[in-house]
Amino acid sequence: MTQYICHKAETRGHDYSDWLDSKKTFSFADYYNPKRMSFGALRVLNDDVLTGGSGFGTHPHDNMEIVSIPLSGSLRHEDSLGNHNVVSVGSVQVISAGTGLFHSEYNGSPTQPAAFLQLWIYPDVLNTTPGYTAITLPRTFRENHLYPFIQPGNGAATVTIRQDTWMSMGFFDNASVTEYQMHKEDNGVYAFVIGGAFDIDGRVLQNRDGLGIYNGEGVTIRSLSDQAGLLLIEVPMSLPFAV
């Protein structure tokens, strides 16, 4: 029987400083909630806003697939692999940390805030070669359907990460109905609202609410407002190593 776990937006961890406003769905940094450690392989879902000119200075990562999705403004990325890039709304960047790299992420604007989602997914294999990819999504990803921008197997305007992960995003007019089918039997999907409101299998989600769905074959999604935005993250619910 399909199982659901709902994380209302206001129940997330919240860190606020003069440069960063960060809301955390799962335990991260100073926010620790043993009941909020992950959803399967999805370990981090941070909803961050950087003030103008600020950012995360150079710091390391290893053994994690890190996806950044700008929601407003832009991010200026630099890493120890030699990559320099700016990603803005409509683009997505993926860091495959593997054996390790250093990087920095700064707001691309010296004055305007930048909002982005930061997702960390456990890899299926440890200690691989680090890598960096950024893609620009086609304009059609906003037209009443879910656009899969991360999926196994390379395709146009998609990225493959080191995990059986499908990540989709879409923006919908009011009362649009979409079906989502799980790609693998043991996977679950985490739905995160990035604008407006949705009904997913009879559960109403408002902006920034999250809903984890597992032990099921798929879900029925109905938008409840215009310009309703949804991010879906399908991941394995179990890992080949202890975490």
Partner 1 sequence: MENTKIRILALGYNPPIMAVVLRLINSHDNWNGEMASSLEEALFKLSNHSYDVVLLCAGVSSPDETILKQNISAVGPKTRLIRHFGGGSGLLESEIRRGLQQ
Q: Which is nearer to partner 1, 19 or 102 (CB)?
A: 102
Q: Which is nearer to partner 1, 67 or 213 (CB)?
A: 67
Tokens of 156: 């146009």
Query: How far is Cα 147 from Cα 187, in angstroms, rounded to an integer?
Result: 19
Q: Is 12 in the site for partner 1 (CB under 8 A)?
A: no
Q: Which is nearer to partner 1, 83 or 128 (CB)?
A: 128
Q: What residues from 109 to 128 belong to the interface with partner 1 (CB under 8 A)?
A: 120, 122, 126-127
Q: Is 7 in the site for partner 1 (CB under 8 A)?
A: no
Q: Is 82 in the site for partner 1 (CB under 8 A)?
A: no
Q: Which stretch binds partner 1 (CB under 8 A): 97-105, 153-161, 196-204, 227-235?
A: 97-105
Contacts of 69 (CB under 8 A, 6+ apart): 92, 116, 117, 119, 169, 231
Place of tokens 């129940």: 11
Q: Is 16 in the site for partner 1 (CB under 8 A)?
A: no
Tokens of 236: 């394995």
Q: Is 81 in the site for partner 1 (CB under 8 A)?
A: no
Query: Chain-centre distance of CA 237, in angstroms?
Result: 16
Q: Is 50 in the site for partner 1 (CB under 8 A)?
A: no
Q: Which of 1, 17, 18, 30 binds partner 1 (CB under 8 A)?
A: 30
Q: Is 173 in the site for partner 1 (CB under 8 A)?
A: no
Query: How far is Cα 105 from Cα 99, in angstroms, rounded to an integer?
Result: 20
Query: How far is Cα 207 from Cα 125, in angstroms, rounded to an integer?
Result: 34
Q: Which of 3, 10, 16, 37 binds partner 1 (CB under 8 A)?
A: 37
Q: Is 77 in the site for partner 1 (CB under 8 A)?
A: no
The least distance separating partner 1 from the CB of residue 101, rounded to whole angstroms, comes to: 9
Q: Is 129 in the site for partner 1 (CB under 8 A)?
A: no
Q: Which is nearer to partner 1, 36 or 222 (CB)?
A: 36
Which positions touch partner 1 (CB under 8 A)? 27-30, 32, 34, 37, 43-44, 59-64, 97, 99-100, 102, 120, 122, 126-127, 241-243
